[in-house]
């Protein structure tokens, strides 16, 4: 049986879509169910929200499991394909391969594969309207005082994957406020 946990509205440019987050007690999963829209004659629709605490506790366990998968995937993505938002000044990085930078009026700066460095500054360039990131570079500090601006594709994070215990703790923390709709937002899956 399906139980509605919350009703939400997603405003579009011209229209609104209405949906509910439902918990299916047979499959033990959460899903998003469209209940209405102003795009067609469907109109506004809502479902009665479940108040049964046992059902809500089961739904919270399903939410923890969903967050566990999301956090684990995000952690893997941030190590394999990092974006500028994954880095902060002071982070340790590892170079993916040998290379060099040729700053103007200065000697070339070389580095080896797997050489470690520290991020001193982050440069981000966005499209005209700020909707997508065009270019990201990092100012890195290597040993012996060498510094170079390096493209993001040339570095990887100097850290290991999160342990299962830490992922579970983070999933429990994210699910604790019972914001059922957050994993189902259309923009980014969740903001970590």
Co-location of 59 and 7 in the same domain: yes
* Structural domains counted in the chain: 2
Domain shared by 174 and 122, yes or no: no
Domain holding 138: CATH number? 2.30.30
Give 178's pLDDT tier (boundaries 50, 70, 90): confident
Query: What is the C-alpha to C-alpha distance for residues 142 and 5, in angstroms, rounded to an integer?
Result: 52
Task: Tell whether 123 is covered by a domain.
Answer: yes
Give residue 191's pLDDT. 40
Considering the domain boundaries, does residue 42 fall inside one? Answer: yes
Confidence class for position 187, pLDDT limits 50, 70, 90: very low
Q: For residue 189, tell me if it sits in a domain.
A: no
Domain of residue 14 covers 2-81+163-184
Global confidence as pTM: 0.75
What pLDDT is recorded for position 42?
66
Q: Is the pLDDT of residue 190 over 80?
A: no
The verdict on 107 and 171 lying in the same domain is no
Q: How confident is the model at residue 2 (pLDDT cuts 50, 70, 90)?
A: very high
Query: Is pLDDT above 90 for 22?
Result: yes
- pLDDT bin (cut points 50, 70, 90) of residue 104 is confident
Residues 145 and 174 in one domain: no
- Write down the pLDDT at residue 168: 93
Decide if 144 is inside a domain: yes
């Amino acid at each position: 049986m399906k139980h509605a946990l919350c009703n939400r509205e997603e405003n579009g440019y011209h229209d609104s879509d209405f949906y509910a987050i439902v918990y299916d007690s047979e499959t033990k999963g959460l899903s998003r169910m469209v209940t209405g829209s102003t795009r067609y004659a469907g109109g506004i629709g809502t479902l009665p929200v479940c108040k049964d605490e046992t059902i809500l506790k089961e739904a919270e366990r399903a939410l923890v499991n969903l967050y566990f998968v999301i956090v684990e995937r995000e952690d893997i993505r941030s190590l394999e394909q990092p974006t500028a938002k994954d880095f902060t000044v002071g982070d340790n990085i590892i170079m993916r391969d040998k290379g060099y930078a040729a700053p103007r009026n200065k000697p070339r700066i070389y580095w080896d594969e797997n050489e470690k460095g520290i991020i001193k500054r982050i440069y981000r360039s966005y499209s005209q309207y700020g909707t997508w990131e065009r270019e990201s570079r990092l100012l890195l500090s290597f040993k012996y005082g060498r510094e170079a601006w390096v493209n993001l594709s040339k570095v990887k994070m100097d850290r290991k994957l999160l342990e299962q215990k830490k992922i579970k703790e983070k999933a429990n923390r994210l699910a604790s406020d019972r914001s059922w709709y957050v994993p189902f937002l259309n923009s980014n899956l969740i903001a970590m």
